[in-house]
Structure 1
Amino acid sequence: RFGMLETVSEFAGEQLAAHGELEMVRGQHARYFLALGEAAAPHLRVAGQTAWMDRLEAEHPNLRAALAWLLAAREGEEAVRLAGALWWFWYIRGYPSEGQQWLSRTLASGGSSIARAAALVGAGWFALDQGDVTPGLAALEEAVALQRAAGDRQGIATALNWLGNAYVHERQYARAEQIHTEVLALRRQLDDQPGIAASLANLAGC
Protein backbone atom coordinates (compact mmCIF):
# COMPACT_ATOMS: atom_id res chain seq x y z
CA ARG A 1 0.00 0.00 0.00
CA PHE A 2 1.14 3.53 -0.77
CA GLY A 3 1.27 5.15 2.67
CA MET A 4 3.81 6.99 4.81
CA LEU A 5 4.08 9.56 7.59
CA GLU A 6 2.96 13.02 6.44
CA THR A 7 6.32 14.66 7.15
CA VAL A 8 8.18 11.96 5.25
CA SER A 9 5.69 12.22 2.39
CA GLU A 10 6.19 15.99 2.18
CA PHE A 11 9.97 15.62 2.14
CA ALA A 12 9.83 12.92 -0.53
CA GLY A 13 7.54 15.11 -2.63
CA GLU A 14 9.93 18.05 -2.35
CA GLN A 15 12.87 15.88 -3.41
CA LEU A 16 11.00 14.43 -6.37
CA ALA A 17 9.85 17.88 -7.46
CA ALA A 18 13.41 19.18 -7.21
CA HIS A 19 14.57 16.45 -9.56
CA GLY A 20 11.63 16.85 -11.95
CA GLU A 21 10.26 13.40 -11.16
CA LEU A 22 7.13 14.23 -9.15
CA GLU A 23 4.66 14.01 -12.04
CA MET A 24 6.21 10.77 -13.27
CA VAL A 25 5.77 9.17 -9.84
CA ARG A 26 2.23 10.50 -9.52
CA GLY A 27 1.44 9.00 -12.90
CA GLN A 28 2.85 5.63 -11.85
CA HIS A 29 0.83 5.83 -8.62
CA ALA A 30 -2.38 6.63 -10.53
CA ARG A 31 -1.91 3.76 -12.98
CA TYR A 32 -1.15 1.31 -10.18
CA PHE A 33 -4.49 2.16 -8.57
CA LEU A 34 -6.27 2.10 -11.92
CA ALA A 35 -5.04 -1.48 -12.28
CA LEU A 36 -6.25 -2.28 -8.76
CA GLY A 37 -9.68 -0.81 -9.42
CA GLU A 38 -10.09 -2.71 -12.67
CA ALA A 39 -8.85 -5.94 -11.07
CA ALA A 40 -11.38 -5.54 -8.25
CA ALA A 41 -14.42 -4.64 -10.37
CA PRO A 42 -15.37 -8.18 -11.54
CA HIS A 43 -15.25 -9.42 -7.94
CA LEU A 44 -17.51 -6.81 -6.35
CA ARG A 45 -20.84 -8.55 -7.03
CA VAL A 46 -19.88 -12.20 -6.51
CA ALA A 47 -18.81 -14.47 -3.66
CA GLY A 48 -15.73 -13.09 -1.98
CA GLN A 49 -16.74 -9.49 -2.63
CA THR A 50 -16.18 -8.42 0.99
CA ALA A 51 -12.41 -8.93 0.82
CA TRP A 52 -12.20 -6.83 -2.34
CA MET A 53 -14.50 -4.16 -0.90
CA ASP A 54 -12.31 -4.01 2.21
CA ARG A 55 -9.19 -3.64 0.10
CA LEU A 56 -10.70 -0.77 -1.87
CA GLU A 57 -11.87 0.83 1.38
CA ALA A 58 -8.33 0.65 2.77
CA GLU A 59 -6.98 2.22 -0.42
CA HIS A 60 -9.74 4.78 -0.85
CA PRO A 61 -7.45 7.79 -0.19
CA ASN A 62 -5.04 6.50 -2.83
CA LEU A 63 -7.89 5.87 -5.27
CA ARG A 64 -9.13 9.43 -4.76
CA ALA A 65 -5.61 10.75 -5.33
CA ALA A 66 -5.34 8.68 -8.51
CA LEU A 67 -8.62 10.04 -9.86
CA ALA A 68 -7.64 13.61 -9.02
CA TRP A 69 -4.28 13.25 -10.76
CA LEU A 70 -5.74 11.62 -13.86
CA LEU A 71 -8.25 14.45 -14.20
CA ALA A 72 -5.64 17.15 -13.61
CA ALA A 73 -3.33 15.50 -16.15
CA ARG A 74 -6.19 15.35 -18.68
CA GLU A 75 -5.99 11.57 -18.85
CA GLY A 76 -9.70 11.29 -19.55
CA GLU A 77 -9.67 7.70 -20.79
CA GLU A 78 -7.98 6.36 -17.67
CA ALA A 79 -10.00 8.59 -15.34
CA VAL A 80 -13.32 7.35 -16.69
CA ARG A 81 -12.09 3.74 -16.60
CA LEU A 82 -11.23 4.04 -12.92
CA ALA A 83 -14.51 5.72 -12.00
CA GLY A 84 -16.43 3.09 -13.96
CA ALA A 85 -14.60 0.34 -12.10
CA LEU A 86 -15.31 1.86 -8.68
CA TRP A 87 -18.95 2.86 -8.89
CA TRP A 88 -20.37 -0.29 -7.26
CA PHE A 89 -17.88 0.06 -4.40
CA TRP A 90 -19.06 3.62 -3.83
CA TYR A 91 -22.70 2.52 -3.94
CA ILE A 92 -22.38 -0.41 -1.54
CA ARG A 93 -20.03 1.30 0.90
CA GLY A 94 -22.16 4.42 1.24
CA TYR A 95 -20.41 7.02 -0.90
CA PRO A 96 -23.21 7.86 -3.38
CA SER A 97 -22.64 11.61 -3.49
CA GLU A 98 -18.89 11.25 -3.86
CA GLY A 99 -19.29 8.53 -6.46
CA GLN A 100 -21.73 10.58 -8.48
CA GLN A 101 -19.36 13.55 -8.41
CA TRP A 102 -16.39 11.48 -9.62
CA LEU A 103 -18.50 9.89 -12.35
CA SER A 104 -19.77 13.27 -13.51
CA ARG A 105 -16.29 14.77 -13.59
CA THR A 106 -14.67 11.85 -15.37
CA LEU A 107 -17.45 11.50 -17.95
CA ALA A 108 -16.99 15.18 -18.75
CA SER A 109 -13.28 14.55 -19.34
CA GLY A 110 -13.71 12.25 -22.33
CA GLY A 111 -12.84 8.58 -22.72
CA SER A 112 -13.63 5.90 -25.30
CA SER A 113 -17.14 4.57 -25.78
CA ILE A 114 -16.48 1.32 -23.88
CA ALA A 115 -14.94 3.12 -20.91
CA ARG A 116 -17.80 5.61 -20.87
CA ALA A 117 -20.42 2.86 -21.01
CA ALA A 118 -19.36 1.40 -17.65
CA ALA A 119 -19.23 4.83 -16.03
CA LEU A 120 -22.63 5.76 -17.49
CA VAL A 121 -24.18 2.69 -15.86
CA GLY A 122 -22.93 3.91 -12.50
CA ALA A 123 -24.00 7.50 -13.14
CA GLY A 124 -27.44 6.33 -14.22
CA TRP A 125 -27.94 4.12 -11.19
CA PHE A 126 -26.84 6.84 -8.77
CA ALA A 127 -29.21 9.32 -10.42
CA LEU A 128 -32.14 6.91 -10.16
CA ASP A 129 -31.30 6.13 -6.55
CA GLN A 130 -31.50 9.85 -5.77
CA GLY A 131 -34.82 10.27 -7.56
CA ASP A 132 -33.49 11.81 -10.79
CA VAL A 133 -35.38 9.45 -13.07
CA THR A 134 -35.07 11.15 -16.47
CA PRO A 135 -31.27 11.68 -16.43
CA GLY A 136 -30.79 8.28 -14.82
CA LEU A 137 -32.63 6.42 -17.55
CA ALA A 138 -30.95 8.56 -20.21
CA ALA A 139 -27.49 7.60 -18.92
CA LEU A 140 -28.37 3.91 -18.93
CA GLU A 141 -29.87 4.12 -22.42
CA GLU A 142 -26.68 5.81 -23.62
CA ALA A 143 -24.59 3.03 -22.05
CA VAL A 144 -26.64 0.43 -23.94
CA ALA A 145 -26.28 2.37 -27.20
CA LEU A 146 -22.50 2.60 -26.81
CA GLN A 147 -22.21 -1.13 -26.16
CA ARG A 148 -24.43 -1.93 -29.15
CA ALA A 149 -22.25 0.28 -31.35
CA ALA A 150 -19.17 -1.58 -30.11
CA GLY A 151 -20.81 -4.95 -30.78
CA ASP A 152 -19.81 -6.31 -27.37
CA ARG A 153 -22.52 -8.84 -26.48
CA GLN A 154 -21.37 -9.21 -22.88
CA GLY A 155 -21.25 -5.45 -22.52
CA ILE A 156 -24.70 -5.11 -24.11
CA ALA A 157 -26.11 -7.69 -21.71
CA THR A 158 -24.59 -5.95 -18.70
CA ALA A 159 -25.83 -2.49 -19.67
CA LEU A 160 -29.28 -3.82 -20.58
CA ASN A 161 -29.45 -5.68 -17.28
CA TRP A 162 -29.00 -2.44 -15.37
CA LEU A 163 -31.53 -0.69 -17.61
CA GLY A 164 -34.04 -3.45 -16.94
CA ASN A 165 -33.39 -3.17 -13.21
CA ALA A 166 -33.95 0.58 -13.50
CA TYR A 167 -37.39 0.04 -15.02
CA VAL A 168 -38.24 -2.39 -12.22
CA HIS A 169 -37.07 0.29 -9.78
CA GLU A 170 -39.54 2.68 -11.46
CA ARG A 171 -42.30 -0.01 -11.52
CA GLN A 172 -42.46 -0.02 -15.31
CA TYR A 173 -42.69 -3.79 -15.36
CA ALA A 174 -43.71 -4.35 -18.99
CA ARG A 175 -40.65 -2.46 -20.26
CA ALA A 176 -38.45 -4.23 -17.70
CA GLU A 177 -39.71 -7.64 -18.85
CA GLN A 178 -38.97 -6.78 -22.48
CA ILE A 179 -35.41 -5.76 -21.62
CA HIS A 180 -34.67 -8.70 -19.33
CA THR A 181 -35.97 -11.08 -22.00
CA GLU A 182 -33.35 -9.70 -24.39
CA VAL A 183 -30.69 -10.00 -21.69
CA LEU A 184 -31.62 -13.64 -21.12
CA ALA A 185 -31.32 -14.37 -24.85
CA LEU A 186 -27.88 -12.74 -25.00
CA ARG A 187 -26.66 -14.64 -21.96
CA ARG A 188 -27.86 -17.91 -23.45
CA GLN A 189 -25.89 -17.13 -26.61
CA LEU A 190 -22.84 -16.50 -24.43
CA ASP A 191 -23.50 -19.63 -22.31
CA ASP A 192 -23.24 -17.39 -19.23
CA GLN A 193 -24.76 -19.75 -16.66
CA PRO A 194 -24.63 -17.39 -13.64
CA GLY A 195 -26.01 -14.64 -15.87
CA ILE A 196 -28.82 -16.89 -17.11
CA ALA A 197 -29.81 -17.66 -13.52
CA ALA A 198 -29.78 -13.95 -12.65
CA SER A 199 -31.88 -13.10 -15.70
CA LEU A 200 -34.48 -15.73 -14.85
CA ALA A 201 -34.69 -14.28 -11.34
CA ASN A 202 -35.03 -10.78 -12.77
CA LEU A 203 -37.83 -11.87 -15.09
CA ALA A 204 -39.65 -13.43 -12.15
CA GLY A 205 -39.64 -10.01 -10.51
CA CYS A 206 -41.17 -8.20 -13.47
Structure 2
Amino acid sequence: MLQPVAVGDHRAETGSLIQPFVKNAPVNLVFVIDAGRTSMMGKSALSTADRDMLSDTAVGFISQNVYLYCASEGLSTVVRGLIDREAVKARLQLRPEQRIILAQSVGYPADQEEKTAIDLQQIPDGKYPGEARYQELVYRVAVAIKNHRIDQVDIVDIGSDDFREEAAATIQNVISLQRVNVDAVSGATPASQALLKAVEDALSKAARSK
Protein backbone atom coordinates (compact mmCIF):
# COMPACT_ATOMS: atom_id res chain seq x y z
CA MET A 1 0.00 0.00 0.00
CA LEU A 2 1.29 3.46 -0.91
CA GLN A 3 1.97 5.77 2.02
CA PRO A 4 2.01 9.58 1.47
CA VAL A 5 5.21 11.22 2.67
CA ALA A 6 4.96 14.77 1.28
CA VAL A 7 1.79 16.84 0.99
CA GLY A 8 1.37 18.87 -2.20
CA ASP A 9 2.21 18.69 -5.89
CA HIS A 10 5.96 18.14 -6.29
CA ARG A 11 6.04 16.75 -9.83
CA ALA A 12 8.23 19.55 -11.18
CA GLU A 13 10.93 18.75 -8.62
CA THR A 14 11.45 15.31 -10.16
CA GLY A 15 12.60 16.87 -13.44
CA SER A 16 14.96 19.56 -14.68
CA LEU A 17 14.77 22.92 -16.45
CA ILE A 18 14.92 21.16 -19.83
CA GLN A 19 12.01 18.86 -18.92
CA PRO A 20 9.01 21.22 -18.56
CA PHE A 21 6.58 18.40 -19.39
CA VAL A 22 7.29 16.77 -16.02
CA LYS A 23 5.07 19.18 -14.09
CA ASN A 24 2.06 18.28 -16.26
CA ALA A 25 2.56 14.52 -16.43
CA PRO A 26 -0.28 12.76 -14.55
CA VAL A 27 2.22 10.34 -12.97
CA ASN A 28 5.92 10.63 -12.15
CA LEU A 29 7.55 7.52 -10.72
CA VAL A 30 10.79 7.79 -8.75
CA PHE A 31 12.76 4.54 -8.45
CA VAL A 32 14.65 4.23 -5.16
CA ILE A 33 16.84 1.40 -3.91
CA ASP A 34 17.31 0.68 -0.22
CA ALA A 35 20.84 -0.57 0.47
CA GLY A 36 19.75 -1.67 3.92
CA ARG A 37 17.43 -4.23 2.35
CA THR A 38 19.67 -5.38 -0.50
CA SER A 39 22.97 -6.14 1.25
CA MET A 40 22.44 -9.91 1.44
CA MET A 41 21.66 -12.69 -1.03
CA GLY A 42 20.53 -15.62 1.04
CA LYS A 43 23.15 -15.90 3.77
CA SER A 44 25.91 -14.32 1.71
CA ALA A 45 26.87 -10.67 1.95
CA LEU A 46 26.88 -8.74 -1.32
CA SER A 47 29.67 -6.44 -2.36
CA THR A 48 28.71 -2.85 -3.08
CA ALA A 49 29.29 -3.42 -6.80
CA ASP A 50 27.11 -6.54 -6.90
CA ARG A 51 24.39 -4.88 -4.85
CA ASP A 52 24.29 -1.86 -7.15
CA MET A 53 24.30 -4.06 -10.26
CA LEU A 54 21.37 -6.16 -9.05
CA SER A 55 19.41 -3.13 -7.86
CA ASP A 56 19.96 -1.20 -11.09
CA THR A 57 18.94 -4.25 -13.12
CA ALA A 58 15.74 -4.61 -11.07
CA VAL A 59 14.89 -0.96 -11.74
CA GLY A 60 15.40 -1.59 -15.45
CA PHE A 61 12.98 -4.52 -15.41
CA ILE A 62 10.36 -2.52 -13.49
CA SER A 63 10.69 0.39 -15.91
CA GLN A 64 10.35 -2.00 -18.84
CA ASN A 65 7.10 -3.34 -17.37
CA VAL A 66 5.81 0.22 -17.13
CA TYR A 67 6.71 0.73 -20.80
CA LEU A 68 4.86 -2.44 -21.81
CA TYR A 69 1.74 -1.42 -19.90
CA CYS A 70 1.78 2.10 -21.37
CA ALA A 71 2.17 0.69 -24.87
CA SER A 72 -0.86 -1.56 -24.35
CA GLU A 73 -3.00 1.32 -23.04
CA GLY A 74 -2.02 4.02 -25.56
CA LEU A 75 -0.07 6.03 -22.97
CA SER A 76 3.29 7.74 -23.33
CA THR A 77 6.20 7.21 -20.96
CA VAL A 78 9.82 8.25 -20.71
CA VAL A 79 12.62 7.27 -18.32
CA ARG A 80 14.60 10.23 -17.00
CA GLY A 81 18.03 10.44 -15.41
CA LEU A 82 18.13 14.23 -15.01
CA ILE A 83 16.87 14.52 -11.44
CA ASP A 84 17.84 16.89 -8.64
CA ARG A 85 18.55 13.88 -6.45
CA GLU A 86 19.43 15.82 -3.31
CA ALA A 87 16.27 17.95 -3.47
CA VAL A 88 14.01 14.97 -4.18
CA LYS A 89 15.74 12.92 -1.49
CA ALA A 90 15.00 15.64 1.04
CA ARG A 91 11.41 16.03 -0.18
CA LEU A 92 10.74 12.29 0.09
CA GLN A 93 12.52 12.08 3.45
CA LEU A 94 14.79 9.30 2.26
CA ARG A 95 17.33 7.73 4.59
CA PRO A 96 21.09 7.92 3.84
CA GLU A 97 21.12 4.30 2.64
CA GLN A 98 18.34 4.97 0.12
CA ARG A 99 19.45 6.03 -3.38
CA ILE A 100 17.45 7.47 -6.28
CA ILE A 101 18.20 5.65 -9.55
CA LEU A 102 15.81 7.03 -12.18
CA ALA A 103 12.46 8.72 -12.65
CA GLN A 104 9.76 7.79 -15.16
CA SER A 105 6.92 10.00 -16.38
CA VAL A 106 3.62 8.57 -17.59
CA GLY A 107 1.02 10.57 -19.50
CA TYR A 108 -0.84 11.07 -22.73
CA PRO A 109 0.87 11.68 -26.10
CA ALA A 110 1.64 15.39 -26.48
CA ASP A 111 0.51 15.36 -30.12
CA GLN A 112 -2.67 13.39 -29.44
CA GLU A 113 -4.92 16.40 -29.79
CA GLU A 114 -3.18 17.72 -32.91
CA LYS A 115 -3.79 14.38 -34.62
CA THR A 116 -7.49 14.60 -33.85
CA ALA A 117 -7.95 18.35 -34.29
CA ILE A 118 -11.59 19.26 -34.85
CA ASP A 119 -12.71 22.38 -36.71
CA LEU A 120 -15.81 23.70 -34.95
CA GLN A 121 -16.56 25.81 -38.01
CA GLN A 122 -17.39 22.59 -39.86
CA ILE A 123 -19.93 21.38 -37.28
CA PRO A 124 -23.58 22.47 -37.66
CA ASP A 125 -25.65 23.53 -34.68
CA GLY A 126 -27.11 20.65 -32.71
CA LYS A 127 -26.60 18.32 -29.78
CA TYR A 128 -24.24 15.38 -30.16
CA PRO A 129 -23.61 12.36 -27.91
CA GLY A 130 -20.15 11.07 -27.08
CA GLU A 131 -18.56 8.52 -24.81
CA ALA A 132 -15.19 7.24 -23.58
CA ARG A 133 -13.96 4.64 -21.12
CA TYR A 134 -11.74 5.02 -18.07
CA GLN A 135 -10.94 1.80 -16.22
CA GLU A 136 -14.32 0.10 -15.66
CA LEU A 137 -16.36 3.29 -16.10
CA VAL A 138 -18.02 4.69 -19.22
CA TYR A 139 -18.29 8.47 -19.49
CA ARG A 140 -21.20 9.76 -21.58
CA VAL A 141 -21.82 13.38 -22.54
CA ALA A 142 -24.04 15.44 -24.83
CA VAL A 143 -22.31 18.39 -26.50
CA ALA A 144 -24.40 21.31 -27.75
CA ILE A 145 -22.97 23.35 -30.64
CA LYS A 146 -24.37 26.82 -31.32
CA ASN A 147 -22.97 29.26 -33.88
CA HIS A 148 -19.97 26.95 -34.34
CA ARG A 149 -19.06 27.11 -30.67
CA ILE A 150 -19.27 24.62 -27.81
CA ASP A 151 -22.29 26.09 -26.08
CA GLN A 152 -22.98 23.45 -23.45
CA VAL A 153 -21.77 20.03 -22.32
CA ASP A 154 -24.21 17.88 -20.39
CA ILE A 155 -22.79 15.02 -18.35
CA VAL A 156 -25.10 12.10 -19.03
CA ASP A 157 -23.16 9.50 -17.04
CA ILE A 158 -19.75 9.51 -15.33
CA GLY A 159 -20.21 6.28 -13.41
CA SER A 160 -19.35 7.74 -10.00
CA ASP A 161 -20.44 10.87 -8.15
CA ASP A 162 -16.94 11.10 -6.63
CA PHE A 163 -15.74 12.69 -9.87
CA ARG A 164 -18.66 15.07 -10.43
CA GLU A 165 -17.00 18.20 -8.99
CA GLU A 166 -13.83 17.69 -11.01
CA ALA A 167 -15.93 16.87 -14.08
CA ALA A 168 -17.80 20.16 -13.77
CA ALA A 169 -14.52 22.09 -13.63
CA THR A 170 -13.19 20.20 -16.66
CA ILE A 171 -16.31 20.98 -18.67
CA GLN A 172 -16.08 24.65 -17.73
CA ASN A 173 -12.53 24.70 -19.10
CA VAL A 174 -13.69 23.10 -22.35
CA ILE A 175 -16.36 25.76 -22.84
CA SER A 176 -14.03 28.62 -21.87
CA LEU A 177 -11.17 27.48 -24.10
CA GLN A 178 -13.33 26.06 -26.92
CA ARG A 179 -11.05 23.03 -27.25
CA VAL A 180 -10.62 19.66 -25.60
CA ASN A 181 -6.86 19.52 -24.92
CA VAL A 182 -7.29 21.12 -21.50
CA ASP A 183 -4.48 18.92 -20.16
CA ALA A 184 -1.93 21.26 -21.69
CA VAL A 185 -3.27 24.07 -19.49
CA SER A 186 -4.61 22.45 -16.35
CA GLY A 187 -2.70 19.18 -15.99
CA ALA A 188 -5.90 17.16 -16.17
CA THR A 189 -6.09 13.85 -14.32
CA PRO A 190 -6.64 10.54 -16.14
CA ALA A 191 -10.35 10.71 -15.24
CA SER A 192 -10.59 14.23 -16.66
CA GLN A 193 -8.79 13.08 -19.78
CA ALA A 194 -11.41 10.38 -20.24
CA LEU A 195 -14.15 12.99 -19.99
CA LEU A 196 -12.32 15.11 -22.56
CA LYS A 197 -12.13 12.11 -24.87
CA ALA A 198 -15.91 11.71 -24.52
CA VAL A 199 -16.36 15.34 -25.61
CA GLU A 200 -13.91 14.76 -28.46
CA ASP A 201 -15.86 11.65 -29.48
CA ALA A 202 -19.05 13.70 -29.70
CA LEU A 203 -17.37 16.39 -31.81
CA SER A 204 -15.73 13.82 -34.08
CA LYS A 205 -19.07 12.14 -34.73
CA ALA A 206 -20.64 15.53 -35.40
CA ALA A 207 -17.91 16.44 -37.89
CA ARG A 208 -18.35 13.15 -39.74
CA SER A 209 -22.14 13.46 -39.90
CA LYS A 210 -22.32 16.95 -41.40
Shorter-normalised TM range = under 0.3
Greater share of strand residues, 1 or 2? 2
Greater share of helix residues, 1 or 2? 1
TM-score (norm 1): 0.27
TM-score (norm 2): 0.26
Higher relative contact order (CA closer than 8 Å, sequence separation 6+): 2
